[in-house]
């Protein structure tokens, strides 16, 4: 398997000089290169009986690194599974048109925040006006900035359970059948809200901005499969290293699954172009990619518990969150090993390497 760290280490001079990298891209690049190396710090295990030593290097912990953060993915998925209800679920996807992608690229923090805000307001307004629902929805939103080809394509997915708590707090109200909202109607309201938000903050709207935007609203069954899909890209970056197929003569070949045909396709391009295709999706520092709203918000814990009682929910076991750490055994005698003091690399010394 061709590792992303290996490629970044080889092509980092060209990448730094040829691509419009900001501090967050430099920091992600250095973290991925340093992951599981002495640059991230070292832990030493020692056997109590035969005094055998073993050395282990820390992971970088960066959310764009494909070599770590697996535990973080599983923990998020476990938390979301604790909120699942025995009802039908929908995935609603709000996509910004290509004519606004240049604006979004140069104002990412603001634009992503506005994307979440306008999409949530749109869904909540539809939930309040719907005659069968008439209340707040529960939403779990995840921001994606990439297409399947790893191009810059900002959009946000929402997992939405079909229904909500009645105004008297005693009944679950839901829509019948496998239809939630009309995608075109959602897109019309979302477009108006986003453009109005841009104007309120002094941004000009490009004349080429289309009248018709795209919002997809599709039935996804019981929700677990959709959450598992979204969890793949929360951490560990936008590409699975198994999809990097070939590295020859400065060219990289990677594969992706085409959205319409579901067939695997390949792209071959210069290594620097491929690496920037991956690194461009590093989010602004501290920006939260996933957010919960309505009765799924962290502050609505009591409301969610009430719903789970009404619907007689049997919660799944939290296998990942409650898993105990496995003891490291000595390869010589098989007895447990203990951790002895180790030195952690100072962040300032790592920062100097990327400046």
The 3-state DSSP class for residue 333 equals coil
Say how many C-beta atoms besides its own lie within 10 A of residue 155's C-beta: 19
Positions in the chain short of pLDDT 50: 320-323, 346, 348-349, 351-353, 355
State pLDDT tens for residues 301-333: 999 999 999 998 876 665 544 445 567 788 888
pLDDT of the residue at 52: 79
Q: CA-CA distance, 126 to 137, in Å (whole number)?
A: 9
pLDDT of residue 53: 80
pLDDT tens digit sequence for 173-184: 999 888 999 999
Residues 280-309: b if buried by 16+ CB within 10 A, e if exposed: bbbbeeeeebbbbbbbbbeebeebbebbbe
* Predicted structure pTM score: 0.88
Q: What is the pLDDT of residue 165?
A: 83
Instruction: Output the pLDDT for position 317.
Output: 61
Report the length, in residues, of the chain.
Answer: 355
What is the pLDDT at residue 125?
A: 95
C-alpha closest to that of 138 among 303, 301, 302, 294: 294
Mean pLDDT of the chain: 88
Distance from C-alpha of 140 to C-alpha of 223, rounded to nearest angstrom: 11
pLDDT value, residue 296: 94
pLDDT score, position 322? 47
Q: What is the pLDDT of residue 350?
A: 52
pLDDT of residue 142: 95
Return the pLDDT at 170: 81
Angle at 210 between CA 206 and CA 213, to 5 degrees: 125
> How far is it between the farthest Cα atoms of the chain?
75
Residue 43, beta-bridge partner list:
56
pLDDT of residue 289: 93
Number of CB atoms found within 10 A of residue 262's CB: 7
pLDDT at 292: 96
State the pLDDT at residue 245. Answer: 96
Contact (Cβ atoms closer than 8 angstroms) between residue 82 and residue 316:
yes
């Amino acid at each position: 398997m061709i590792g992303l760290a290996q490629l970044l280490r080889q092509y980092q001079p060209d990448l730094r000089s040829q691509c419009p990298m900001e501090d967050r891209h430099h920091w992600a690049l250095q973290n991925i290169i340093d992951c599981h190396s002495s640059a991230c710090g070292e832990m030493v295990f020692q056997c109590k009986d035969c005094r055998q030593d073993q050395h282990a290097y820390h992971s970088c912990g960066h959310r764009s690194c494909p070599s770590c953060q697996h535990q973080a993915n599983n923990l998020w998925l476990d938390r979301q599974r604790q909120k699942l209800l025995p009802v039908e679920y929908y995935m609603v996807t709000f996509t910004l048109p290509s004519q606004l992608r240049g604006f979004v690229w140069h104002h990412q923090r603001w634009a992503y925040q506005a994307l979440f805000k306008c999409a949530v307001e749109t869904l909540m307004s539809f939930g309040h006006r719907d005659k069968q629902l008439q209340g707040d929805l529960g939403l779990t939103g995840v921001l994606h900035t990439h297409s399947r080809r790893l191009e810059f394509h900002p959009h946000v997915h929402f997992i939405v359970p079909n229904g909500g708590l009645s105004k008297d707090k005693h009944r679950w109200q839901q829509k019948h059948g496998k239809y939630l909202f009309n995608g075109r109607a959602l897109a019309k309201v979302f477009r108006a809200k986003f453009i109005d938000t841009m104007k309120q903050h002094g941004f000009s709207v490009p004349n080429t901005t289309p009248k018709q935007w795209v919002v997809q609203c599709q039935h996804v069954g019981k929700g677990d499969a959709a959450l598992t899909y979204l969890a793949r890209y929360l951490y560990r970056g936008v590409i699975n290293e198994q999809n990097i197929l070939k590295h020859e003569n400065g060219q990289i070949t990677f594969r992706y699954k085409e959205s319409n045909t579901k067939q695997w396709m390949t792209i071959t391009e210069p290594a620097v172009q491929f690496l920037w295709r991956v690194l461009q999706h590093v989010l602004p520092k501290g920006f939260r990619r996933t957010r919960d709203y309505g009765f799924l918000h962290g502050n609505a814990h009591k409301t969610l518990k009430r719903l789970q009682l009404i619907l007689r929910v049997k919660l799944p076991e939290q296998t990942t969150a409650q898993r105990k750490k496995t003891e490291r055994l000595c390869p010589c005698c098989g007895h447990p090993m203990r951790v002895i003091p180790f030195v952690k690399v100072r962040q300032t010394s790592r920062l100097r390497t990327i400046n």
